[in-house]
Chain A
Amino acid sequence: MKRFSIISLLLVLAVPAVMACMWVDTHNYYLFRIYDNSEFKERVDQVTRDNWKAYLSLSADDYFSFNADDVAEAALKKGDNLMASYVRQLQRYLDCVDSKRREQYSWDYPTKEEIAERNATLAEVRAYAQGKLTTRLRSQHALLFMRCNMMLARHGENVTFWEQTASNYIETVYKDMMKNIYAGALLKTGHGVRAGQIFAEQGDWESLMTQYYQKRSYDAICQEYNRDPQSAVLPFLLQDFVNNVQEAVDGDGYGKLFVRNIERKEAMQMVQLAARAVSENKTPCPAMWMSAKAWLEFLYGDLTQAKTDISQATALDGTEYMKDCARILQFYIQAMQMPVNTQYDNLVSTELQWLMPKAKEGGSYRSALDRIIHQALFPKYSKAGRQFTALALLKTTDNYIDNYLDEMTPDSLQRYVDYVKSPAPTDVDRLVKPGLTIDETWLSDLMGTQHLRLGHWKEAIPYLEKVPLDYYNDKGYAIYAANRSYTVEPWVKRQWLSYGLEWSHDPVALSANPKLTFAREMLNMEKDLKRLKGLARQQRCYDLAVRYAQANHTGDCWFITHDGKGAYDKVGRNEMDFNAKAVELLREAAQTSDFLLKEKTLFALAYWYLNDEPWFQRKWSSNTGTLVTYPQPQTRHYQSWEALLNFEAANPGRTSTYIQRCDEYQTFKRVYNKN
C-alpha cells in the first residue's frame, strides 16, 4: 500500500490549498449598467484599421496591422504622393513613441543626446505636419501635429490648436482622436473637469478611470452633481459607485474589516442624492438616478421602496441604455419577490421575449439574463416544483444542465423526457423548451447508469442493452474501462495506467459493455448469495465487497457508475453508498475462521477509502518545525488497523508479505506502540 499512503497524504495536505483556489461562478453580474461599455480606444482602432484596409483594397483576412512601407508603396502606385509622404512621417513619429516606450523595459536607458535626437525628430515631424494643414489630408496631419505636441509635452499648444483650429474640422475618426488628445492636454494643464467631460462623452472609460480613480465616493459624486447636474462624468461615477456597493453587500466571505465604508451609510447618502436629482429636475436622465436609488434600496433590503422606485424609473427619461437598465432591474426585483403563479409566468414570458434577443448580442444584456435566470427564475421555478421549466430556462443561458439530469432518479429523468417530448404547458415553457433535445442512446445509458448507482441491477440491464459498444468506445473513460478490472482487490493493488497508455490518443475498442457486464454479474452473484452458507457465503461477501468498492466513485472502476472522477466527489443524491455496502459485506466476511480470508478482510476494512475519517491527524508543530501525527482512536479507521494488529499478535509470524510491506500499517504500528 506504499502508493496508496502517499496519495492519501497528498490528498490530506493538498485540500486547504486547493480549496483556496476553487472558484465558483456566483452569476452575480452587475445589473446597474447604464452606458455602453465599448471602449473608445477599440472603436477608433477599428475605424482606422477599416480606413487602411479600404485604402489598400484588402480584405479583413489580408490586413494585419499598419505598415508604412506597404501604404507608401500603394500610395505611390496611385500617384498619391501626399499620402506616401504622410505615412513616412507617421512612421517616424511611431518610431519615437516606440523608443519612448522602450525606456520602460530596455537596459539601455537613453542618453541626453539620444533624447535630444528623438525630440528633434518629433519637432521635424511636427513642423512637417503643421505645413500640411491646408492639404486634403489636413485631418491626418493635424492629428500628427497634435501627437507630436503631446510627446513633446507641448500641451498648451494642443489646447490652443484644438480650440482655434481642429475643432472646426469635419467629423472624422482623426478628429475624435484629436479631441481625445485635447482632453489629455486639458488634464495636464489643470483643467480636469473639462477633460473628464470629454473623456465621458467619448466613452474613454480607461482615461476616466485613471483620472477619477481616487474620486469615486459619494462626496465626489455629490460635488460633481452640485457643480453640474448634467455632467457627462456622472453616469460613469454613479455606475462605478453602485456596483461597488453591490460588491460590498455581496461580501462573499471576505469580511468587511478593512472594506472602505461604502456600505449602508454612504449608500443611503447616495439614495438621498438620487432622490434630490430626480426631484430637482435638472438632470437629463432621471431614469438613471431613480434606478440607482431603487437598486441601492434593494441591495439593502428595502424591497417595497425598491419596487415602487424601479417602477417609476422605467417611466422616466434617459438614454435607451438607461431605460433598458431600469427594465432589467425591474424584472430582476419582481422575479425575486413575486410568487410563482400565472401572473409570474406572464411577467417572465413578456420580459424574456424582450431580453432574450438582446442577450444574443452578448455584453451586459447577456450577463443580466444569466443573473436573472440563475438567481431568480431557476430557484423560484425549482422550488415551485417546476423543475423542468427551471432546467429549460437554465439551458437558454448556454449552461450545462447535464449535471442536473445526471443526479436525477430514473423516474424523474423519465418525467423530464416526457416534458421535452410533449407540448409546452405555458408561455414560458413555449419560449424556452426549444433549447432542449433528447438523444436516445444517451438517455438509455443514463437511465441504466442511474439504476446501477442505486444497485438496481435488474432494472439497469434493459437500458444498458440498448447502448451500442461504440458509444462507450468514444467516452473519455474508455481507456480505463479497457484496462481495469472490477475483480481486482483495490486494497491490495491499485490499477494505475502507465503515462503513455493514459494519455494515448489511440482509439479504444472495448470487447464488451462494461456497465452491462457488471450489472449482470452483480445480479447473479447477489442472487446466489441468498442460498450460500458458511465459508462460501463469506467468500462471496468478500468478492462482492471488492466489486462495490471498485464501482464506487473512489474505486478504480468508477466509470461503471460515473462519467468522470474528481477529488471532491461524494456519494450523490440518488445513489447507494457503495463503500458502505462494501464495509457491511466485509464485516460479515470477517466472521470467517479461514485465516487468509480473515486476514484479507481485516486489511480491506483498514483501506483508506472505506473509512470516512483517517486514523490520524497531522498538525504542524512550531516547536519542532515538523508535522506531528496525532492518533485518533475513536475513528473506525484506527479501530480497523488495531483489529489487524491484534490479529497479527494472535498469529505471530503468519501474516502475509503484502501486509508486512504496507507502509501505512507500519506507520500505524509505530504510532500505536509509542502511545
Chain B
Amino acid sequence: MLALLLSACAKQSPVEPSNAVYFWRTEFRLDSTEWTFLSRYQISTIYCRYFDVVMNDTTPIPNATLAFADTIPAGVAFVPTVYITEDCMHQWHEGLARKIVDRVVQMNATNDIRGIVELQMDCDYTDRSRRHFYTFLEQVRSEARRHGMRLSVTIRLHQLQMPAPPADYGVLMLYNTGDPRNFEQRNPILDHRDVEPYVRHLPDYPLPLAAAYPVYRWQRQVQGVRIEHTVEASEILGVKKMVESMRPDLSRRIIVYHLDEENINRYDNDTYEAIFHH
C-alpha cells in the first residue's frame, strides 16, 4: 500500500525527446515543402487534428472532420488529436468519452492508419468545466488504453494554476496567450508579458510537459478590418528561453503549431533550428 502511495505521488518520467508538429487543417495532404520540412528537422511526431467536438443544442457532436487525401509519412508517430469546445464540459454527457475514442479508432481503421499509440485531447477548460473534463479524461484514458493508446492533453497557461489533469503528459500551449480583443496592446498569439505571470507554476507542475510554439499567421476580420497577427522569431525564442529556464524538461519535446507551407516559409532555417534546439 505504501509503495502504491509513493508511486502515485512520484513525478512521472519526462516525455521522450523529439521534434514534432501539429497538423490542423481539414484535409490531410502534404505538399513537397511540408515533406521536406519533416525530413529536414527530423520531425518524429505529428499531432493531427481528427475532428472537433462542439455543442449542437444540448448534445456534443463531431465537426470539421479531417479528410485523408494523402498517406501518413512512414516512420513518424501519428497522434490523433481531438479539440473539444469548453461548453461541452459545462454538463456531463454520458458515453461521450467512448464515442470519441471509437470514432478515432474507426477513422484509423477506415483510412488504414496503423500503429497509433497515443490520443490527445485539447480543451480550453476553465474552473467551470474542469470537474467534468477531468472525469471525462479519466474515461477517455481508460477507453484509449483498451485500444493500446496513452493519453496526452493540451495545457494552456491559465490552466497551470489548476490541479493537473489525468493524462500521461501535457503539451504546454505557448500560443493564443493574449486577449484577441486587446490586440492593440498585445499580440494575441504570443507575448512574453502574457506568459510571465504563469511561469512560476512550471517547476512544480506535476505532469511531464512538452512545449508547443506558434509559427502561424492569424488573419481575421474585426468589423470588416482585415487584422493580421504573426509572431516575431525573437519573441518565440525569448519565450522558449524563459519557460525552459523555469522547467528545463520543456526542451525535450518541441512542437510547432502548425505544419503548413506558408508557416514553413515564414521563418528562416536558423529560426527553426533554434526553436527545435534541445
Contacts and interface: CB of A to CB of B under 8 A. Distances in A.
Contacts of A168: none
B62 A258 contact: no
A267 to B, nearest CB: 13
A247 B65 contact: no
A254 interface: yes
Contacts of B219: 260
Interface stretch (B16-24, B35-43, B223-231): B223-231
Contacts of A112: 109-110
Nearest to B229: A258
A254 B225 contact: yes
A133 to B, nearest CB: 30
A111 B110 CA distance: 5
Interface string B36-77: 000000000000000000001000011111000000000000
B14 to A, nearest CB: 33
B225 A111 contact: no
Contacts of A22: none
If over half of B's interface residues share one DSSP class (helix, strand or loop), that class is named, otherwise mixed; here it is mixed
B63 A104 contact: yes
A187 to B, nearest CB: 14
A255 interface: yes
A109 B223 contact: no
On chain B, which size bracket covers the interface? 20 to 34
Binding site secondary structure of chain A? loop
Interface in B97-147: 99, 102-103, 106-107, 109-110
Contacts of B183: 254-255, 257-258
Contacts of A107: 61-62, 99, 102-103
B110 A214 contact: no
Nearest to B221: A247
A153 to B, nearest CB: 9
Contacts of A254: 183-184, 222-223, 225, 227
Contacts, number: 66
A262 B56 CA distance: 38
A655 interface: no
A351 interface: no
Interface in B206-244: 219, 222-229
Interface in A63-109: 103-107, 109
B99 A109 contact: no
B262 interface: yes
A20 B223 CA distance: 13
Contacts of A214: 262
Contacts of B107: 109
B177 interface: no
A178 interface: no
A260 B107 CA distance: 39
A62 to B, nearest CB: 31
Interface string A127-144: 000000000000000000
Among A107, A214, A255, the most chain B Cβ lie within 10 Å of the Cβ of A107
28 contacts: A20-B181, A103-B65, A104-B63, A105-B56, A105-B62, A105-B65, A106-B61, A107-B62, A107-B99, A107-B103, A109-B106, A110-B110, A111-B106, A111-B109, A115-B110, A214-B262, A244-B226, A247-B224, A250-B225, A251-B225, A254-B222, A254-B225, A258-B183, A258-B228, A259-B228, A260-B219, A260-B227, A262-B226
Which 5 A-B pairs have CB atoms at the shortest separation, nearest pair first?
A: A255-B184, A260-B228, A109-B106, A247-B225, A247-B224
Given A104-B62, A110-B110, A247-B226, 19 more contacts: A20-B181, A104-B64, A104-B65, A105-B56, A105-B62, A106-B61, A107-B61, A109-B65, A111-B109, A111-B110, A115-B110, A248-B226, A250-B225, A254-B222, A258-B183, A258-B228, A258-B229, A259-B227, A259-B228
Interface of B: 56, 61-65, 99, 102-103, 106-107, 109-110, 181, 183-184, 187, 219, 222-229, 262
